[in-house]
Amino acid sequence: MSAGVDLIQVSKRFGDDTIVDGISLSAAAGEFIVLVGASGCGKSTTLRMIAGLEPVSGGRILIGGRDVTTARPDERDIAMVFQNYALYPHMSVAGNMGFALSLTRTPKDEIARRVGEAARILGIEDLLERKPRALSGGQRQRVAMGRAIVREPSVFLFDEPLSNLDAKLRAQMRVELALLHRRLGKTTIYVTHDQVEAMTLADRIVILDRGLIQQIGTPAEVFNRPRNLFVAGFIGSPAMNLFRATIAAPDAVELPGAGARVRLAAPLAGVAAGKPVILGIRPQGLSLGEGGGASSLHMRVRVAEFLGTETVLNGVLAVSGEAVTASVDGERAVLADREIDLSVDPVHVHVFDAETGLNLIQPAKEEEK
């Protein structure tokens, strides 16, 4: 059975430092939620509070509607996979996977059956007698997941489980995690600093910064409608270009330093001309184009990174010298140290209030704080 998870105004303080600042979040039963943010944003602490490994300083935690705020970790019906796998080094793989069941005096036949079933799902049947130290990183990762699966919990918690794997294995395990979630259908709360993991795995992404939730939304929502500058800068690779600008007209923004004007997809409501703003343009919204248009930027290319299907151009705006990145068609060769014209796709343009950092074009609807 799967259970929803509710955080209600949950906070965590260590002395005078507030690590998690009264966050509220609801994960529906079976949902895959990814907590993402930079180091020290409070994502792991939040996960540890849900697991019961860290007492909360304030607020309540409900799992399956039951208040577990002060419950012991084993009373919360959760299982957790740690970043370093945290396998019992003195036990075999089977011993690791069956440990929780042995503590509840589950009959040996039943333990063997459930361990065997989990091992079959994860393809580690051949490893059951081995010790963790005789396993590769990827195999340890599977054993750690197996240990979680065997317990048949209502909620899975993952704390950066793929960060110790090499890039190829990480991509493979990401796919397997997604398949596993689909197969088991259990509520999953997953912590990562890797936005690719967040975007590919999540039903909904929770972006944290300095202990506060910056935005909750589907991967498409947080990418297309970033609520503020932090989310805009954090989600998307390469990161969004941000330029100092002013409102020129309801549907146009001027880059004073670059001497350019960028047209918006829709007019801004209630924003006075001359207001200082931050203009955000996704690198994917810039393409090699004809110069002289209303929405075009003049760029001096410093480095061109050919990635196959696309080429990432790094350089500066020709007039202002502000850094700019463009992700353009990989078929067209672009040489370094050339000056080029980029045309701007209004769909990928965002305007942020220079003071509050909020997105003025399409503010995401207010969800949980």
Partner 1 sequence: MSTNSRSNARAAWFFVLPAMIVMFVACLYPVISAIRLGFYDWSMGTPWAQAKWTGWTTFEIVFSDPAIWRSLWTTLKFAAVSVSAEMFLGIALALALEGNLRGMAFFRTLFILPMMVAPIAVGLTWRYLFDAQFGLVNALLGVFNVAAKGWLADETLAFAAIIVSDIWQWTPFVFIMVIAGLAGVDANVLEAARIDGARWWTLTTRVKLPMIAHVLAITLVMRLIDAFRVLEVIYVLTFGGPGDSTEVLSMYIYKTAFIGQKLGAASAISVLLLAVVMLLTWLALRMSNPLSDGENRR
Region binding partner 1 by CB under 8 A among candidate stretches 50-58, 116-124, 257-265, 274-282: 50-58
Binding status of residue 107 toward partner 1 by CB under 8 A: no
Compute how many other C-beta atoms are within 10 angstroms of the C-beta atom of residue 318.
Answer: 17
**Residue 138 C-beta: closest distance to partner 1, Å:** 18
Q: Which is nearer to partner 1, 71 or 271 (CB)?
A: 71
Number of residues that bind partner 1 (CB under 8 A): 27
Distances (CA, A) of 220 to 66, 199, 265: 32, 8, 18
Rounded Cα–Cα distance for residues 283 and 11 (Å)? 36
Binding status of residue 133 toward partner 1 by CB under 8 A: yes
**Residue 110 C-beta: closest distance to partner 1, Å:** 16
Binding status of residue 137 toward partner 1 by CB under 8 A: no
Region binding partner 1 by CB under 8 A among candidate stretches 19-27, 46-54, 197-205, 219-227: 46-54
Would you tell me the crossing angle of helices 93-103 and 108-122 to the nearest 10 degrees?
Answer: 130
Q: Which is nearer to partner 1, 88 or 306 (CB)?
A: 88
**Residue 104 C-beta: closest distance to partner 1, Å:** 6
Q: Which is nearer to partner 1, 77 or 353 (CB)?
A: 77
Binding status of residue 86 toward partner 1 by CB under 8 A: yes
Q: Which is nearer to partner 1, 79 or 340 (CB)?
A: 79
Say if strands 204-209 and 32-36 run parallel, antiparallel, or are unpaired: parallel
Applying CB under 8 A, among 5, 47, 68, 78 the residue interacting with partner 1 is 78
Applying CB under 8 A, among 24, 26, 69, 92 the residue interacting with partner 1 is 92
Q: 158 phi and psi, to 5 degrees?
A: -120, 125
Applying CB under 8 A, among 114, 142, 147, 350 the residue interacting with partner 1 is 147
Distances (CA, A) of 84 to 40, 87, 139, 153: 18, 8, 12, 21
80: β partners? 157
Q: Which is nearer to partner 1, 128 or 229 (CB)?
A: 128
Structure tokens at 321: 């010298």
| Footprint (CB under 8 A) of partner 1, residues 305-364 | none
Binding status of residue 108 toward partner 1 by CB under 8 A: no
Applying CB under 8 A, among 4, 59, 64, 73 the residue interacting with partner 1 is 73
Asked whether the beta carbons of 184 and 154 are under 8 A apart, the reply is no
Q: Which residue shows structure tokens 């979630």?
A: 181
Region binding partner 1 by CB under 8 A among candidate stretches 66-74, 116-124, 166-174, 224-232: 66-74
Region binding partner 1 by CB under 8 A among candidate stretches 4-12, 87-95, 270-278, 295-303: 87-95
Best CA proximity match to 164, nearest among 144, 179, 184: 144
Rounded Cα–Cα distance for residues 184 and 152 (Å)? 9
Query: Residues with Cβ < 8 Å from 271, sequence gap 6 or more?
Result: 247, 250, 277, 360
Applying CB under 8 A, among 5, 36, 68, 87 the residue interacting with partner 1 is 87
CA torsion, ordered 329, 330, 331, 337, to nearest 10 deg: 90
Best CA proximity match to 20, nearest among 211, 220, 283: 211
Give me the residues that bind partner 1 (CB under 8 A), please. Answer: 51-53, 72-74, 78-80, 82-84, 86-90, 92, 99-100, 103-104, 131, 133-134, 147, 151
